[in-house]
Each structure stands twice: as C-alpha cells, then as structure tokens.
Amino acid sequence: MACDRPSVSAVITAHNSALYIADAVASIRAQRSPPDEIVIIDDGSTDSTGTIVGALGTDIRYVWQANRGEASARNRGIAAAQGDIVAFLDADDAWPSDRLERLLQPLTDKHVEIVCGRARAFSESSWTAAAAAAAGHPEGFMMSFGCAVIRRALFDRIGGVDETMRHGVDLDWFLRCRERAVPILVIEDIVLLYRRHDHNMTRDIDAGRDGLMRTVKQSLDRRRRGQQTAQSLPLWETLGRQDR
C-alpha cells in the first residue's frame, strides 16, 4: 500500500443481511488495495447478522442501532468512519477485487472529491465474486454511494443524507453536491457488483418513481430559492475518463 495514499474506511450498511454479509466482507478483504478499516452499521437486524459478523474477525468494527432506515445507517457510518475517504457497500452487494485500486487513483488530484464508476448487476443464483464480475450486464453510471469513493471532509460541507427519505436517498445527496459544483470524476470501470434478489428496494417501482420525483422537486425548489448556485442541472460533471 502506498504510504501517501489517503486512509480509507469501508462502510457496510446492513439490515437482516445474514444471507449476504459474509460475501460483502469477503469482497472487501479481497481488494488489491485494501481499506484501512471495515465498519458495519447494522440497522436493527433481527436475524443472525450480528452473530455472523462476530465470527468474521476482530478487524471489523460493528455498530448496531435500532431500525431507523437506510439514510440513518449511512449517516451513522459517516460519523463512525475514521478514514480520509469513505467507500460504501450495501450488505447484499459486493466489490470487484480492483474496485478501490481504480477509484482511489484519481484522488491523487486534490481537486477531485468524488470518483464514481459503473455497476454490474447479477442474479442471486450466479454468486461467487468471480462469476458475478463476469456475469450480468453493466448499467449506466449511477448516482449511488455504492459506486463511489468520497472524501470524508465533503460530508462536513454538504451534510449527511436526508433521513426523512426512504427512496432517492443517494440521488438527493449527489444532486446537492452538483448544486454546490462539487468536482466529480466518472470512470468507465465496473466498481460495484449489484445483487438482484426478491427484496431489493428498487423492485418497488411506484415508490422508486415517487422518490425520484420528490428528489428532483427538492433540488429545483432549492435552486428557485437561491440556496444553490448551479446554473444547470446535468446528471454528471465529467472531469475526465480513464479507460481500462
């Protein structure tokens, strides 16, 4: 590990994730450029998630909280993270082994505060890290914490995620960054393995649509009130691209 590399906190958010949590942790430990710490925020699991985490090793910092939702768990993870960079992972997803290596390299430019890549979806039945990385299909760039690494200090400026929201949580935060002209670098690489299963929140199409509409309206309202200075509302500000 390069001595001048910023420290990295890998933050897993979990809720009743006994089936998947060991895979998520294994994918973090398999990184060619490993993080400096692994933090698991358990949002009120009632299954054996905590027991499984307890058997995975003493290098994991495990925090349990009463169930308050995804946004609260993300904020708890941000508060707990001690690294210069925060990298999120939902407990039912996984990282390809070169994920941190590829996303961290552009952060040598101190003007870049967020680096994002692509996700590859895979079915629950196709799991192993190698199989998932090769299967499925790449999706478009996602305004998703799972597809990004973020400088920890940015949360002090932008604030945490909106705990009043259930859907559109990630998008709302990224739009707030865009409104503040935060530099975002987009790379072409697959940096997240997204597991499709029966309990994905994104399967609730109506709720997802309502969340999207609320998120966009809130962004427009902020701009109309003059609280933000962005002159346009592009999805991404691409400062550059890196090929495989």
In a domain, 118, yes or no: yes
pTM over 0.75: yes
Instruction: Select, from the ranges 28-37, 171-180, 185-194, the one with the highest average predicted confidence (pLDDT).
Output: 28-37
Determine, yes or no, domain membership for 208.
Answer: no
Find the domain containing 131 and state its range.
8-165+176-202
Per-residue model confidence as pLDDT tens digits over 38-81: 999 999 999 999 999 999 999 999 999 999 999 999 999 999 99
Q: Which CATH number characterizes residue 160's domain? A: 3.90.550.10
Minimum mean pLDDT among 7-16, 36-45, 162-171, 217-226: which range?
Answer: 217-226
pLDDT of 131 above 90: no
What was the pLDDT predicted at 138? 55
Confidence of residue 229 (pLDDT cuts 50, 70, 90): low
Residue 59 lies in a domain: yes
Q: How many domains does the chain have?
A: 1
Alpha helices, H only, the chain: 21-29, 49-54, 70-80, 99-104, 129-134, 152-158, 169-179, 205-224
Give domain status of residue 41, yes or no: yes
**Is 232 inside any structural domain?**
no
Asked if the structure places residue 25 within a domain, the reply is: yes
Q: Is residue 67 part of a domain?
A: yes
Average pLDDT for the chain: 83
23 located within any domain: yes
